[in-house]
Amino acid sequence: MLRPASIDPVAQLRAERISARDNEDPCASLCTVASVDRDGLPHARTLVLRDVEEQLAIFGNRTSPKWQQMPEGTVVAVVVWLPSLSLQYRLRCTTRPVADHVVHASWQLRPATPKKLDWLYTHHQPQSTPVTDRAALLSLLESLDLPEPLIAPDTAAGLFLTPQVVERLDLNQPDGVHDRRHFERTDRGWLESVLVP
């Protein structure tokens, strides 16, 4: 039975991700995103989940097959697992593009190797394509002619994730019965129901 929610589940997720980071939780900055390809086959991958302009966002490269599965307006499923808190969030999100200037600014926060990989994808070999072996890949990465200063390639991209449905599963209950709650975004705000776990 849906009723007005006592909390904003996205704000709660944000606060719990901060707590997980404080716990040095290795999953605090990650999520699993699921999409469907043009043949109807499901795909799931782990991505960095970022907070951008007070919204959830993911970043990637337009050469990637996953990016082609998530055009603007696509609905994706996202799972956030915070083992240090024994919490799982399942989200159903609509997507919209992050503005290029925000993508390029956020890109500067990436580690050096992913930056080089973005340039590799853009000018040499798209993401997910086969290589002879790992040694050939590493050699190609070392031989890249990178711009100075190092900036994001045009293929760098981002998507804002707007949760429409949130399920929060709290496994850390003293009585052993998991606390599972379902939230739906409506014109009147979030509605909530308690589910059998």
- Angle 73-78-82 from CA coordinates, rounded to 5°: 150
How far apart are the C-alpha atoms of 2 and 4, rounded to whole Å? 7
How far apart are the C-alpha atoms of 182 and 89, rounded to whole Å? 10
Quick one: which of 106, 123, 117, 124 has its CA closest to 48? Answer: 106
Q: What is the DSSP letter of 99?
A: P
Amino acid at 112: A
184: which strand partners?
165, 191
Query: Looking at the domain assignment, is residue 94 inside a domain?
Result: yes
Check residue 68 and give its pLDDT.
84
How far apart are the C-alpha atoms of 21 and 87, rounded to whole Å? 13
Check residue 74 and give its pLDDT.
84
Would the pLDDT of 149 be above 80?
yes
Query: Looking at the domain assignment, is residue 93 inside a domain?
Result: yes
Query: Looking at the domain assignment, is residue 130 inside a domain?
Result: no
Name the band, by pLDDT with cuts 50, 70 and 90, for residue 174: very high
Query: Looking at the domain assignment, is residue 144 inside a domain?
Result: no
Query: Looking at the domain assignment, is residue 28 inside a domain?
Result: yes
Average pLDDT rounded to a whole number, residues 96-108 = 94
Query: Looking at the domain assignment, is residue 180 inside a domain?
Result: yes
Check residue 1 and give its pLDDT.
86
The number of domains in the chain is 1
Name the band, by pLDDT with cuts 50, 70 and 90, for residue 66: confident
Would the pLDDT of 71 be above 80?
no
How many residues comprise the chain? 197
CATH number, residue 55:
2.30.110.10
pTM of the model: 0.90
Average pLDDT rounded to a whole number, residues 82-106 = 96
Query: Looking at the domain assignment, is residue 46 inside a domain?
Result: yes
Q: What is the DSSP letter of 85?
A: G
Query: Looking at the domain assignment, is residue 115 inside a domain?
Result: no
Check residue 73 and give its pLDDT.
79
Would the pLDDT of 179 be above 90?
yes
pLDDT digits 0-9 by tens, 117-128: 999 999 999 888
